[in-house]
Structure 1
């Protein structure tokens, strides 16, 4: 079986850097606290899926002291996103991983609904298909799994719009790649999205008492 690597694209959960579109609802510190909770939650799910190496691809660089404030398990590998738009940063990660002989599962930290079962499903699908896609209700995607790399998957995509998943599926179709696509999940990007958070998380927001779990 081809090895799989989960690459989590993440920003440091700092006020004013992470989840800025939620600041009107939560304040800068509240948005950063939620970002921190979602990051740890995503890491926990990725490790629990046990489908392969888990890599945290971050900005700022792993050497930045901000990352020392988080309890990141030793099993997690680190990489630097470097410069460029989201597409360029994901493309570098995808190309590096696939060139190294692994399938890549690209995820962010914005989708609490993305579960261990979803990750395992993607890992299994990449044993027989070229790609796996879990779209989101806002038109993006929570997970993109790839067995091989082509730059068209990441160039000239209108990132942060409601056409990202559609454009990605069109690129896959033009390449003639097989893809497993799934029902939509919910990202947490805008204040209106907060209703999709687990109830215990909403309680934590109201009491400002996030606990790593």
Structure 2
């Protein structure tokens, strides 16, 4: 068995559609810029692993924040469109469409703090035939390693984006599942700040620093509006 394929499941960071919970604090444009920075950091790390990288993409990149940078990062990679009705179906199809023959290590774009070592650790286990899950603090998961991409079809009936997604995924996959360290997803402004602190030399950290004033301004406005 040779190296697994890294599968990055991503969504074009379009203002108004990307990171709506972050947008409620800092606005649509800033939220989209943070999402774009996180995606670019994710692609850079995934590429640095040295394995084949496939990106399953959805959304209108023409309307996305940092569209030119993202196109440049995607240019040397294989990009496949996401297909399917819900997230679970799109994930299963992405594994099938990646064309991997030696296992898959799949991530999203919400954990840009991942290190090359995280991919390598998961990949070693996948190479040995193990199923690997990286649990997220919100009950989901940030990494899924499968020695056989066909196993992803078991995700189709798993409810996604709930606090039970991780547990239900492990249950659906069956057998022995190896779990990695628990990490937070970037779902809120506070998440972005905390993750940026973990990876101070990153596009995300630069973006958080740039937009911190907008977040502080929004917090100040909320405080004024709540004052009788």
Structure 1-normalised TM-score? 0.85
Residue-pair matches, total: 201
Matches within 5 A, 1:19-34: 19-34=19-34
2:131–2:145 Cα contact (<8 Å) kept: yes
Q: Distance in 1 between matches of 2:5 and 2:63?
A: 25
Matches within 5 A, 1:201-212: 201=205, 202-206=208-212
Structure 1: 5+ residue stretches without partners? 209-213
Report the Cα offset of residue 188 of structure 1.
0.7
Root mean square deviation, CA, Å: 2.1
Q: Distance in 2 between matches of 1:91 and 1:152?
A: 5
Query: Is the alpha carbon distance of 1:42 and 1:93 closer, same or farther for their aligned partners in structure 2, counting shifts above 3 Å?
Result: same
Q: Distance in 1 between matches of 2:68 and 2:98?
A: 27
1:153 aligns with 2:130: no
Q: Secondary structure at the match of 2:157?
A: coil
Query: Is the alpha carbon distance of 1:94 and 1:152 closer, same or farther for their aligned partners in structure 2, counting shifts above 3 Å?
Result: closer
Structure 2: 5+ residue stretches without partners? 215-228
Query: 2:181 is matched with which residue?
Result: 183
2:10–2:58 Cα contact (<8 Å) kept: yes
Q: Distance in 2 between matches of 1:157 and 1:88?
A: 9
Structure with a larger share of its residues in helix? 2
1:60 aligns with 2:66: no
2:3–2:127 Cα contact (<8 Å) kept: no
Task: Report which of the two structures shows the higher radius of gyration computed on alpha carbons.
Answer: 2
1:45-66 deviation per Cα after TM superposition (whole angstroms, max 9, x unaligned)? 001111x2111111137xx545
Q: Secondary structure at the match of 1:144?
A: strand
Report the Cα offset of residue 131 of structure 1.
1.1
Report the Cα offset of residue 27 of structure 1.
0.5
Q: Secondary structure at the match of 1:197?
A: helix
> Which is worse superposed, 89-98 or 115-124?
89-98
After TM superposition, which residue ranges in structure 1, 4 or more long, deviate above 3 angstroms? 64-68
Q: Distance in 2 between matches of 1:204 and 1:115?
A: 23
Q: Secondary structure at the match of 1:93?
A: helix
Query: 2:164 is matched with which residue?
Result: 163
Query: 2:9 is matched with which residue?
Result: 9
Matches within 5 A, 1:61-210: 65-66=62-63, 69-70=68-69, 71-72=72-73, 74-97=75-98, 100-148=100-148, 149-150=150-151, 153-173=154-174, 176=175, 178-199=176-197, 200=200, 201=205, 202-206=208-212
1:138–1:162 Cα contact (<8 Å) kept: yes
1:148-180 deviation per Cα after TM superposition (whole angstroms, max 9, x unaligned)? 22355312222111111111111223xx3x322
